[in-house]
Structure 1
Amino acid sequence: MIEILSPAEVTRARATGTLVADILHTLAGRAEVGTNLLEIDQWARAMILGAGAESCYVDYEPSFGRGPFGHYICTSVNDAVLHGLPRDYALADGDLLTLDLAVLLGGIAADSAISFVVGESRPAESVALVESTQRALAAGIAAAGPGARIGDLSHAIGESLRADGYQVNTQFGGHGIGSTMHQDPHVSNTGRPGRGYQLQPGLLLCLEPWVMADTDQLVTDDDGWTLRSATGCRTAHSEHTIAITDDGADILTLPTGS
């Protein structure tokens, strides 16, 4: 299903996006050496429910997962890149942490992810991975607007990632979003320009470039959810929810005051 939102629904989506961004910003500020991933999950739960919102993850049960996700946020560390199931793990200095959060507020969902290094260490490889996904995300957003096609966004993202020397996995990518978290159209992280669905005002999309340092192959943890690099290399993931407008694309998942 491809859902086109009314102006009133887009306004509600802006509120959801700000909430998601504010929660992620707060959690990133609290995540420090010694913080347990299960603490982060509980902090996310308290902020989501305290805002009168609903988690998109607790009851999430897609075909590729194992049972309901059962937690409020994805916490992926180092070689884990997607769907990181919160577990009993205390963050160490130099860990590369990805937080991925989706909530529903006022009947509209928003989804965002950030990657960052914990503590004082700044491993060059980790910083490069994070910055590459951020550049690719910006390139995809710049290509979005009324009349553009999904392939234009995918091409922009893929070219940016490859220019930085990374391989691109096409198993998981971006997606439409609206009254539910995952909708059509799928937005691959590489593609051919001029192809695919033509964007129109009122469409919400989640763009989410992610990379692994030296591979494009994933393996799944025994928990049935956490996806890791097949070689054990480090990974990063950046994501925004955007709204297609008459003039271009607006980023919805920015924190208050941005």
Structure 2
Amino acid sequence: MLICSRITMAHTNNGNQSETEGDSIKTPDTLKFSYNQLFIPATLMLYGTVETAVSIKRRMLNYAIGHEVIVHKPERFQIDNITQYIPAASVYALNLAGIKGKNNLRDRSIILGLSSLFAAISINSIKYTVRKERPDKSASNSFPSGHTAIAFMGAEFLWQEYKNVSVWYGIAGYTIAAGTGVFRVYNNKHWVGDVAFGAGLGILCTKLAYWIYPSVDKAFSKNHKNRNKIAFYPYYNGQKGGFSLSIKL
């Protein structure tokens, strides 16, 4: 799982600049900070930490389930390499289909970009600090599951953007995210604790992005004209995904 960023800069004639999106100056409806919203991600991360810390006890799910996967050697399905991106991509697909979400293209793209940045930093920092061996012994970067974190990051993003339209969008997103985590264990790439922690971390990254976005938007957009100079766009080229920052000078 790779998350990258790229920056594009362009010169424009501010005098001839025009609006291309009707809701481009819409103020994003962001989350109000509430400690209650930390309960689920914190619980998942705590459980994942406990599983990893005391996994020497064979009765823990890490080894109970991992042992079954290793012994029975089921046929592997690499669909998790694709499903990790589906929840976040669904937000843009729904918008293209004419189903408007909470925020406009610019605002939601910046929020997703912030979420991706938080996830990339936290996932890689933890992976190469803990250095837990994967179940298949292919590497020592098992904890936490990056695929699962990205999937749940996208699921929370989908939920926040479309929960006021229909709760089923969020349910579908979280179902796909959960399936991604299950396949990471099934494919013998991660322990249960890796997946649990990754799920909580992904949710937390998106919540954090919604909470701090008003401050970020205010810092970069002192007036309507400056708002149109900065934009974030997610991308995926078949091998790696991330976000692109475009700055118009």
Q: Same fold (TM over 0.5)?
A: no
Q: Which has the higher helix share?
A: 2
Q: Which has the higher strand share?
A: 1
Please report the TM-score for the alignment, with normalisation by the length of structure 1: 0.27
Please report the TM-score for the alignment, with normalisation by the length of structure 2: 0.28
Bigger radius of gyration? 2
